[in-house]
Amino acid sequence: MTWLKRWKWAVVAAAVVAGAGIALGVILGGLGSASSGTDQGDQTYVVARGDIEKSLTVYGKVVPAQEYTFTFYGDDVNEIFVKVGNRVEEGDVLVELDRTQAELNLLEAERALGEAEAGGVPNTIRNKELSHQIALEQYNETTLRAPFAGVITRITQATSSSQDWSLKLIDTSELYIEASVDQLDAPDVAVGQTAEALIEPLPDKSWTVELVEVGGMATSSGHTTVVSVTALLPEADPSILVGYTAEMEILTAHAEDVLIIPITCLREVPRGWMVTKLVDREKTKQAVAIGAMSDQYVEIRSGLEEGDVILLNSTVAPSGPQDMTEEQKEAFRERKPQGGFPGK
């Protein structure tokens, strides 16, 4: 074979390879897909619409709406009317304490008040009225009543008469899940967000809960710093006991039918975010405004349109505002700065 024939075969082979590469680029470069779209072999992405979600899993326990613990001296106890597990109504008598001294103080206060009223001196009458009020309150405190409807969960008996007894009452009319969120994730959590809750002893059912409280301060927990969050269970299911351990998957970001791109397309600049856009196979810097984000994707609120082609891994550093179009400069002026990097 002569050198001329060898040269012709080389041209034909090169044309076949080039044609196959173009066809493959068209197939891979479809809507929302990555492809090799530049002469340098850069991976590109075609901007498309889609849904985006990000969730955070935390662990905690079931807690009651409120709780109250009574304490009293053992030698003051006359009778305890309840047992652990009893359900009581507001105002029910729980414990009766010895009232001998309290009753005596009340009778003396009543007598002193009567004498003062007979004397007719205003200051003396007022003084005895206050003493009588205090004595009456002390007498009433010898009968311990339930401040709200609930369940008796604990009665601790003292080992000697001089030690305190205790009785704990919890309100189960509403149940909550209290959990801890790492301080780095706390900015993504807010009141009103929903979560799917699993109660460990009840694995066959899940509950949709709503966050009703996010702690106002961070606290140390072991080697980490956390913020407490509280979610309301939709119903006081009798199968859920206070103290059960629970897992919550909190939905921290959600958007439907929006423009989305991989977070690797983004490049942080002093006043926001930028992508590298391909226009007629030329690289241009494009400012964008971002919204909801997951670990892999981010919502684009402005700066791009469906079908735009951008670099999958933005490596073109901005050289300065002088290289931007007026439209891009205006986008940056409207864009509020954001700290951090999406999808941390």
Give pLDDT tens digits for 101-144: 999 999 999 999 999 999 889 999 999 999 999 999 999 999 99
Q: Please enumerate in sequence order all residues whose Cβ is within 8 A of that of 182, keeping only pairs 6 or more positions apart, or say none.
A: 224, 225, 226
Per-residue pLDDT, 252: 87
Which of left, alpha, beta for 158 (phi over 0: left; psi -120 to 50: alpha)?
beta
Query: CA-CA distance, 266 to 16, in Å (whole number)?
Result: 35
Tell me how far apart the alpha carbons of residues 330 and 335 are, in angstroms, rounded to a whole number.
9
Reference 290, options 328, 327, 258; nearest CA is: 258
Number of H helices, E strands in the chain: 4, 19
- What tokens appear for 25 in the block? 């680029």
Give CA–CA dist 272/30, Å, rounded. Answer: 28
Burial 84-116 (b: 16+ CB within 10 A, else e): eeeebeeebebbebebeebeebbeebeebbeeb
Rounded to an integer, what distance in angstroms lies between the CA atom of residue 206 and that of residue 90?
A: 32
At 54 the pLDDT is 85
Structure confidence at residue 319 (pLDDT): 41
Measured CA to CA, the distance from residue 164 to residue 145 in angstroms comes to 18
pLDDT in tens, 175-221: 999 999 999 999 989 999 999 999 999 989 999 999 999 998 999 98
What's the order of all strands across the beta sheet hosting 93-97? 77-80, 93-97, 143-145
Strand, coil or helix: 285: strand
Amino acid at position 259, single letter:
L
What residues of the chain score a pLDDT lower than 70? 1-41, 160-162, 314-344
Cα 296 to Cα 292: distance, rounded to the nearest angstrom: 11
Instruction: For each of the domains in the chain, give its residue range(s) and CATH number, in order of start.
Output: 33-52+256-334 (2.40.420.20), 57-63+173-254 (2.40.30.170), 67-169 (2.40.50.100)
Q: How far apart are CA 286 and CA 266, in angstroms?
A: 10
* Beta-carbon-side half-sphere exposure of residue 325 (alpha carbons within 13 Å): 9
